[in-house]
Chain A
């Protein structure tokens, strides 16, 4: 087992669907530590790019290369969807599910799930059915389920899009803690405040292409291109 599945090398990758060109060509290297925030207007391809990186979309051209064999790379990354996918199970069994898939004994998996439920702040709800949780609780469950196997890389697609300010802050706290414990995070958001609070690096996406990427400070204080400036000013770019 290598120490990390990173770096990830993406070279000239494009996503096409039913003949339509959605994203790319994208060249990018994912390495190091911290949180990369994927920004861009609606429809710029944030979701598609995240799905490509995680392997939910196949590149029509170009390549993705993790620094580990394919199966190991798949096992050591996780994804949190914009709309949380809730299994028809209890909260505890939902969080434990990735561990049982992995061959962990049920009792041990549940014990770990209990810890993770506490950690993300849904310890009071472990016996409830996952589908009856509030939006914020569902997203916390999704986070616990994603983190329980201690992934090297965590992808998140606008996890706070439908949440109120308080739930958003709670999720941000979970994410910064995960980052501090060494999880490499790539997250899409169109919440400028959230981007400023979390980003170590910004990937700015425009019309399916990576328009710019670099340290967050530079992106927010000295945007280099007119498009980036316009985006930061809140002028809509379509």
Chain B
């Protein structure tokens, strides 16, 4: 009990005094995750919109595959990326294993299906609603896609934020491909796992608070977005 209280106090002190390790690890977490989310959004958002609007031969199968990929266990993604990037693997020559780049790659693979799937649902619903109007107004395919993406922009942003939420809290895959190396690939989640194992609860708790803080900020952002959606502020 005493240990927990002491840990909490120490964690609070580290956050208030902007402890250097804490800051470094937090910034690396943000850097890796934001990079991964930007790339995943650049792939996933247009892909989701495209799947919602176009009819093509293997559409159902593609959507089913996307949903299956969403359920991939991150640890398995980590393992596969590890094998690809390891010395003897097909991309071994690039020497990416145990670098932040490897972590970004793993997170992109984990997050893209989620972003694409949420974007797909949102645009599909909007398309169902707009369909008759846009046909009646004699729009071209390009004009339709533009209208759906523009009017669905809040939902698309929500998809990216959900991707951020998944990536920032992920530990299994980046532990495997990043290696949790101090001052190189250590991020919030892997550091918490390590410090807890070492019995270093103060640092683990401090890191945990930062992570919780980020998660709360994220949820507030998503909530605010859905509120502007309902009240239609922008």
Q: Which residues of A contact B (CB under 8 A)?
A: 54, 56, 71, 74-75, 78-79, 81, 85, 87-89, 97-98, 101, 129, 131-132
| A85 touching B133, Cβ below 8 Å | yes
Q: Chain B residues near A132 (CB, 8 Å)?
A: 231-232
Known: A129-B233, A131-B232, A132-B232. A78 touches B147 (CB 8 A): no
Chain B residues within 8 Å of A79, by CB: 132, 136
Question: Is B21 close to A, CB under 8 A?
Answer: no
A25 CA / B147 CA spacing, docked (Å): 36
> Which of B69-77, B137-145, B199-207 lies at the binding interface?
B137-145
Q: What residues of chain B lie closer than 8 Å to A97, measured between beta carbons? A: 137
Besides A54-B136, A97-B137, 8 other A-B contacts (C-beta < 8 A): A78-B136, A85-B133, A87-B147, A87-B151, A88-B232, A89-B151, A101-B137, A132-B232
Partner of A88, one of B133, B135, B151: B151
Complex Cα distance, B8 from A237, in Å, reads 76
Q: How many angstroms from the CA of A132 to the CA of B135 in the assembled complex?
A: 24
A56 and B232 within 8 A (CB): no
Q: Does B3 reach chain A (CB closer than 8 Å)? A: no
Q: Contacts A101-B143, A132-B232 known; A87 to B130 CB distance under 8 Å?
A: yes
With beta carbons under 8 angstroms apart, the residue of A75, A81, A131 that contacts B133 is A81
Contacts of B143 in A (CB 8 A): 101
Measured in the bound complex, the distance between the Cα atoms of B231 and A87 in whole Å is 14
**Residues B98-139 near A (CB distance < 8 A):** 126, 129-130, 132-133, 135-139
Would you give the shortest CB distance from B158 to chain A, in whole angstroms?
14
Q: Which residues of B contact A (CB under 8 A)?
A: 126, 129-130, 132-133, 135-139, 143, 147, 151-152, 231-233
A129 and B151 alpha carbons, distance in the complex (Å)? 12
Q: How far is the CA of A97 from the CA of B135 in the complex (A)?
A: 13
6 example contacts (A-B, Cβ-Cβ < 8 A) are as follows A56-B135, A81-B133, A85-B132, A87-B133, A88-B152, A132-B231
Chain A residues with CB under 8 A of B130: 85, 87
Q: In whole angstroms, how far apart are the Cα atoms of A132 and B233 in the complex?
A: 10
Taking CB atoms, residues of chain B closer than 8 Å to A98 are 137
**Chain A residues positioned under 8 Å from B232 (CB to CB):** 88, 129, 131-132
Pairs A-B, 5 closest by C-beta atoms: A129-B232, A85-B133, A88-B151, A79-B136, A74-B138
CA of A74 to CA of B138, assembled, Å:
7
Assess the A85–B129 pair: CB atoms within 8 A. yes
Are B133 and A56 neighbours in the complex by a CB distance under 8 Å?
no
**Measured between alpha carbons, how far is A54 from B138 in the docked complex, in Å?**
11
In the assembled complex, which residues on chain A have CB atoms less than 8 Å from the CB atom of B126?
A: 88
Residue in chain A with minimal CB distance to B143: A101
Q: A130: shortest Cβ distance to chain B, in Å?
A: 8
Q: Is the CB of A56 within 8 A of B132?
A: yes
Bound-complex Cα distance A75 to B133 (A): 13
Most buried by A among B135, B138, B152: B138
Q: What B residues does A89 contact at CB under 8 A?
A: 151
A48 CB, min distance to chain B CBs, angstroms: 13
Shortest Cβ distance from residue A204 to the other chain B in the assembled complex, whole angstroms: 25
Residues of B contacting A81 in the complex (Cβ-Cβ under 8 angstroms): 132-133
CB nearest to A142 among chain B residues: B133
Minimum distance in angstroms from A69 CB to a CB of chain B: 13
Shortest beta-carbon distance from A203 to chain B in Å: 21
A112 to chain B, nearest CB (A): 15
Distance of A98 Cα from B136 Cα, bound (Å): 10
Taking CB atoms, residues of chain A closer than 8 Å to B151 are 87-89
Choose from A75, A88, A129 the contact partner of B138 (Cβ within 8 Å). Answer: A75
Residue of B nearest to A51 (CB): B132
A105-B151 Cα distance, complex, nearest whole Å: 20
The interface residues of chain B lying within 8 Å CB-to-CB of A54 are 136
Which chain B residue has the least Cβ–Cβ distance from A81?
B132
Query: Distance (Å) between the CB of B116 and the closest chain A CB?
Result: 21
Distance, CA A78 to CA B139, complexed state (A): 13
